[in-house]
Structure 1
């Protein structure tokens, strides 16, 4: 009878897979000895496998290069990384090894860009695409970057006031893009994205605010939909509507030469994941080619903004099963040594599913379980995997430690969870390990940050102040009114 965990995986999925293999009864991820990682650093821990970032960038560039050659497309392709997915220095340094460009979404992003310019990671010809609703500080920072000579900074206009605000902040002329406010999928609670300008209003906006403005040059039309690049009627319908706006605008605006199709390539969230990236890129390039040929206008340069696709598959987390609670005749709760709410906030905030696999004991018998976190919050649990209506893991045994891994978690979890700050129920943030390869291809690990200590929490909460000296914590003395 097939009762081992490896039997369950073998009969459910094609296994092993490119990134997942077995070494005896222990799981390897990109040939990383995960059991050895736990033995060295302990649990819980998070890790970032840096080479995966460069690998995904190279893959996307190859898909677009193939499609451009296949369809004899006359425009160029530019790969942008969305910094909001992960702002960490090690992520940006790895991504920027690959001759890419940057998309920003808030004021402090520009400070990061300027720091990367000082260190030589970003060059003057790197495109900085500035998205988002722009408050005063964001406008000021964009103006500073352009005024210091970075002419390839392109603010994407999100509302009707931003042209005037940017004109006040920028000395001389500058380039802009316009974001389309796409219509959302029918399941959404609203019809139109809050970001950008509506389809019908873009041409009037250009004619009223840009056409006769000697200081502003329109270079880019920006298109993005919330559900990402999917092979369904909704995506293709929105893309065609975007292309109709582009060709109409191009006939009125000779300087318009770029189409930003945003991001949204999905990442692997199950061992059964299937997505034909090359087909999707081929079809996108083909649709743009056809629309421009029919309208007799030159094809645009293509920009993409990939965030989760760039960094998501580089990340993982490892937890130990501390204890099993049998709550009734059917439900067994395996308690992890951390919290899902604090370390994987997407699992409870938007019901996102990640690949979850045991790190060891693959030759043991399995059982159906629920996974619970350490906080006293009823929402701190993880109870289902993609394509399965329950979680199955090797049977809990007090004398045989069991470790589990969540994979492809590298995008958004740290920033949403509030990296370095307070965590729900003051559960410490796990240690974070960086994994790279040396010139000989050997795996190299370094500790990026240790697990949070009580002193870190007390400092944030204000408990490090001396009874008689508020100044010591950086605060001013109380003001008596």
Structure 2
């Protein structure tokens, strides 16, 4: 009878997979010995495997290049990275090795862009696509970059007021894009995205505010689907509606030459994950080609904004199972030595699914469990609602430590969790490791940040550390009491 954890995985999934393999009953991730990592740095532990960022960028660029060649497509392809997915310097440095462009979301993003430009990481040929609702500081920062000569900074107009604000602040001529307010999936609580300008209003907006404006040139139409690029009737319908707007605009606006199909690719959230990236890309390019040929307009240059796809699959988190609580006849709670709300907030906030596997003890018998975090919050857990199905792990044994890993966690978790700041129930952020490879392929690891200390958290809260003085006072009073006695 096959009752071992390795048997369960073999019976349920195709294993090993591209990034996962097994050696001595211990999990390997991209050839990284995770138990050796734990032995060196301890757990809980978060890590970023930098080579995966470049790998995914180059996969996407290759897929688009192949689709463009297969369809004899006359336009070009430009890969943009959404900085909001992860703003960390090590992430941007790795991504920018691959001749890509940047999409920003806020005023402070522009400070990062200027920092990267000062370091020579980007130059005047790098497109900076500025999305988001723009208020004073964001407008000022965009204008500063353009006024200093970065002509490939393209603010995407999100509302009717932004164009005049930009025109008042930018010195010379500049290019803009317009964001389409796409209709949301039927399951949403609202019908139309709060971002952008409605389909029917875009051509009138161009005619009223851009066409006769000598300072402004419309270059890009921005199309974003909140649920990402998926092979659904909803996605294809919205894409075709977007193409109709592009064609109508192109016929009256010769400067329009780019279509930004924002909305990212999904990333692997289970060992059963199946998504045909090449088919989707080829079909998107083909649909754009067909629509433009039928309308007898030039095809647009294609821009994409991939955030999670760029950085998500580079991240992971490792925890130790501290204790098991049998709460009733059916439910066993494995308590981890950290908090899901602190370290993987998307599991708590939006029931986000990640790949979860045991790191060691694959040759042991398995059991069905629930996973609980350390906080006193009843929502600090991970179960079958977040996971693809029921959670099975090697049986808990107090004398045999069990480690579990969550993978493809590299997008948004640090930002949403408030990296370096306060955490729920003051459960500290774990140590974070950067993993890279040298030219010979050897692993290089370094500590990006140590686990948070009580002093750091208390400082944020406004407390001054008084423990030494309190102890001295206590010791002095104790000595006086002894003398009296």
Same-fold call, TM cutoff 0.5: yes
Q: Give yes or no for contact 2:345–2:416 (8 Å, CA) kept in 1.
A: yes
Q: Give yes or no for contact 2:231–2:280 (8 Å, CA) kept in 1.
A: yes
Structure 1 match to 2:300: 300
Q: Distance in 2 between matches of 1:113 and 1:284?
A: 30
Q: Distance in 2 between matches of 1:170 and 1:296?
A: 35
Aligned residues: 467
Q: Distance in 1 between matches of 2:339 and 2:348?
A: 11
Q: Give yes or no for contact 1:354–1:385 (8 Å, CA) kept in 2.
A: no
Cα-Cα RMSD: 1.1
Structure 2 match to 1:233: 233
Cα offsets for 1:353-399 (capped at 9, x unmatched): 10000000000000000000000000000012777431000000000
Q: Distance in 2 between matches of 1:465 and 1:303?
A: 51
Structure 2 match to 1:186: 186
Aligned pairs for 1:35-434 (under 5 A) are 35-384=35-384, 388-434=388-434
Q: Give yes or no for contact 1:44–1:338 (8 Å, CA) kept in 2.
A: yes
Tell me the secondary structure at the aligned position of residue 7 of structure 1. helix
1:167 Cα offset (Å) = 0.6
Q: Give yes or no for contact 1:124–1:152 (8 Å, CA) kept in 2.
A: yes
Structure 1 match to 2:31: 31
1:439 Cα offset (Å) = 1.1
Q: Give yes or no for contact 2:396–2:402 (8 Å, CA) kept in 1.
A: yes
Tell me the secondary structure at the aligned position of residue 262 of structure 2. coil
1:319 Cα offset (Å) = 0.1
Whichever of the two has the greater Rg, that structure is: 2
Q: Give yes or no for contact 1:144–1:170 (8 Å, CA) kept in 2.
A: yes
Cα offsets for 1:114-137 (capped at 9, x unmatched): 000000001111000000000110
Tell me the secondary structure at the aligned position of residue 224 of structure 2. coil
- In the alignment, structure 2 segments of 5+ residues that lack a partner are 467-485
Q: Give yes or no for contact 2:268–2:408 (8 Å, CA) kept in 1.
A: yes
Tell me the secondary structure at the aligned position of residue 342 of structure 2. helix
Q: Distance in 2 between matches of 1:34 and 1:408?
A: 15
Cα offsets for 1:392-431 (capped at 9, x unmatched): 0000000000000000000000000000000000000000
Structure 1 match to 2:20: 20
1:45 Cα offset (Å) = 0.5
Structure 1 match to 2:447: 447
Q: Give yes or no for contact 1:50–1:314 (8 Å, CA) kept in 2.
A: yes
Cα offsets for 1:150-182 (capped at 9, x unmatched): 000000000000010001110011000000000
Q: Distance in 1 between matches of 2:164 and 2:464?
A: 46
Give the 4+ runs in structure 1 shifted more than 4 A.
385-388
Q: Distance in 2 between matches of 1:62 and 1:172?
A: 37
